[in-house]
Chain A
């Protein structure tokens, strides 16, 4: 019997995950590790069930920040890339500032952003966007520049207009690189949202998962901390899976097999 590579790709990581969880559970029980040091997976599951509504509410807040940041990153990143690709002079003049924005640790500038942007939610979105936007800009820019030179010559030979070059050549050529950037940015937007929440220490109705982690730490409720962490991980995986599926859908023609 032969097993398809696709089935292996799904089953193998699940098997590893199950094994790790079993080993983790066994270690906690065998060595009687107290839950405040290292909770067993069943403790985390119980905490997740007990604190479900609060944690899901926090997840919704974090995801709202993440999705808003991702949407702004896509719109802003693509527009920035189109602006930068217009001329080498524009790119040379502005690219260093894009890089400065990328290399400045968000943790260092988040307090400033939170002071400058009074409302909490927009402040969190700005922080997350600053982290997530760079891969979109750099990948889209590289994509717009990675046009097949032969195809570009073909368009020029047929005296194609700037608009024809953009719509029929540059944008489709940039799509694979843009999609790769989107995949990276989706994860970074979530990271950005959580980091921003940590720095802002946002509580109340807009409290996100980072706040849940902080509160659980203060209260020594370590299973709840792990439960919040697990939700962040699952959210990250779902985002990654969704953008990967979107990438496959959009680029199916590129990889179409006979």
Chain B
């Protein structure tokens, strides 16, 4: 069987910031259709930088990023869409939930009637159909993040980029949102790249985990997880999940060695 054509292909991509700091050493990465790839690693290893290069929010200092084998102009053509979920919900506080969710469609020039028709299904996907008229200040942190996800899903993206979206949430809300994400990505065959600090989150969601190292940012290891495993509460309690977490912990400890003489708590 032929391997699926990569949705994202980074070829010797590196990033040097204007202040001379080398954010990423040249690296290669290919992400195939329908994969859910997590990027984990210590602070400063370039996870978010890598994601922003894929989102075209940063330009590489060297190498090339290819989207469906083409340059960034491929986005928007043939219905190919990219959505980005930020670390913060980044909602417009002056607009209600429905208008926030409709924003990317407005910016993309989708006619108002069509855009309106897509709001409720997107909100239903994240369980917020009852909150369409509320304002961000009236929502909890978890609900705001759900609105942010609905805003990303409303464009019916082929590629979803998420930059530590649940980092600021409590464990209970985070687990629930992780389960929702796993279900949505599996159902729609979404290609997703997910940056997280939590190896448990990476273990739960991913079909592949990229472990990154710092100084300079680079790929240290890749860890493949059987995508066929159902990502539900039972999986979280299983021996297989515990084994994956152990393996990822070992890989992470390789990239965050305790410095000589550094005391523990």
Q: Report which A residues bind B (CB closer than 8 A).
A: 148, 150-151, 153-160, 164, 168-169, 172, 175, 253-258
The answer to whether A257 touches B94 (Cβ under 8 A) is: no
Query: Of the candidates A154, A157, A160, A253, which one forms a contact with B135 in the assembled complex, judged by CB atoms under 8 Å apart?
Result: A253
Query: Of the candidates B84, B91, B94, B138, which one forms a contact with A157 in the assembled complex, judged by CB atoms under 8 Å apart?
Result: B84
The answer to whether A253 touches B90 (Cβ under 8 A) is: no
Which 6 residue pairs of A and B lie closest in terms of their CB atoms, listed nearest first? A150-B90, A158-B107, A258-B138, A256-B135, A150-B86, A172-B94
Q: Which residues of B have CB within 8 Å of A253? A: 93-96, 135, 137
Residue B5 CB within 8 A of the other chain = no
Provide a sorted-by-A list of 14 A–B residue pairs whose CB atoms are within 8 angstroms. A148-B90, A153-B55, A153-B57, A153-B90, A154-B84, A154-B104, A157-B55, A157-B57, A160-B107, A169-B92, A172-B94, A253-B93, A253-B94, A257-B138
Q: Which residues of B have CB within 8 Å of A155? A: 107
Query: Bound complex: CA of A158 vs CA of B102, how far in Å?
Result: 12
Excluding A148-B88, A255-B137, 9 further A-B contacts by CB distance (< 8 Å) are: A153-B86, A154-B86, A154-B104, A157-B57, A168-B106, A172-B94, A253-B95, A254-B94, A254-B137
Residue B59 CB within 8 A of the other chain = no
The answer to whether A153 touches B84 (Cβ under 8 A) is: yes
Query: Bound complex: CA of A148 vs CA of B148, how far in Å?
Result: 14
Query: Bound complex: CA of A158 vs CA of B94, how far in Å?
Result: 20
The answer to whether A256 touches B107 (Cβ under 8 A) is: no
Task: With A150-B86, A175-B94, A253-B93 as known contacts, state yes or no: A156 contacts B137, CB within 8 Å.
Answer: no
* Contact code string B59-102 (vs A, CB < 8 Å = 1, else 0): 00000000000000000100000101011101111111000000
Q: Which residues of B have CB within 8 Å of A159? A: 76, 107
Q: Which residues of A have CB within 8 Å of B55? A: 153, 157
Q: Which residues of A have CB within 8 Å of B137? A: 253-257
Query: For chain B residues 110-142, which have a beta carbon within 8 Å of chain A?
Result: 134-135, 137-139
Query: How many Å from the CB of B152 to the closest CB on chain A?
Result: 10
Query: Of the candidates A156, A158, A254, which one forms a contact with B108 in the assembled complex, judged by CB atoms under 8 Å apart?
Result: A158
- B contact residues, range: 20 to 34
The answer to whether B87 touches A158 (Cβ under 8 A) is: no
The answer to whether B138 touches A158 (Cβ under 8 A) is: no
Query: Bound complex: CA of A159 vs CA of B72, how far in Å?
Result: 12
Q: Which residues of A have CB within 8 Å of B82? A: 157
Q: Interface majority SS on B: helix, strand, loop or mixed?
A: loop
Residue B56 CB within 8 A of the other chain = yes
Query: How many Å from the CB of A179 to the closest CB on chain B?
Result: 12
Query: Bound complex: CA of A155 vs CA of B90, how far in Å?
Result: 11
Q: Which residues of A have CB within 8 Å of B108? A: 158
Q: Which residues of A have CB within 8 Å of B95? A: 172, 253
Query: Bound complex: CA of A53 vs CA of B91, how far in Å?
Result: 53
Query: Bound complex: CA of A175 vs CA of B91, how far in Å?
Result: 16
Query: Bound complex: CA of A148 vs CA of B137, how far in Å?
Result: 15
Query: Bound complex: CA of A155 vs CA of B104, how far in Å?
Result: 8
Query: Bound complex: CA of A253 vs CA of B56, how far in Å?
Result: 32
Query: Of the candidates B87, B92, B96, B138, which one forms a contact with A151 in the assembled complex, judged by CB atoms under 8 Å apart?
Result: B92
Query: Bound complex: CA of A164 vs CA of B91, how far in Å?
Result: 16
Query: For chain B residues 30-55, which have a beta carbon within 8 Å of chain A?
Result: 55
Q: Which residues of B have CB within 8 Å of A258? A: 134, 138-139
Query: Bound complex: CA of A257 vs CA of B137, how far in Å?
Result: 6
The answer to whether A150 touches B135 (Cβ under 8 A) is: no
The answer to whether B90 touches A151 (Cβ under 8 A) is: yes
Q: Which residues of A have CB within 8 Å of B134? A: 256, 258
The answer to whether A150 touches B138 (Cβ under 8 A) is: no
Q: Which residues of B have CB within 8 Å of A257? A: 137-138
Query: Bound complex: CA of A168 vs CA of B100, how far in Å?
Result: 11
The answer to whether A254 touches B104 (Cβ under 8 A) is: no
Query: How many Å from the CB of A247 to the closest CB on chain B?
Result: 14
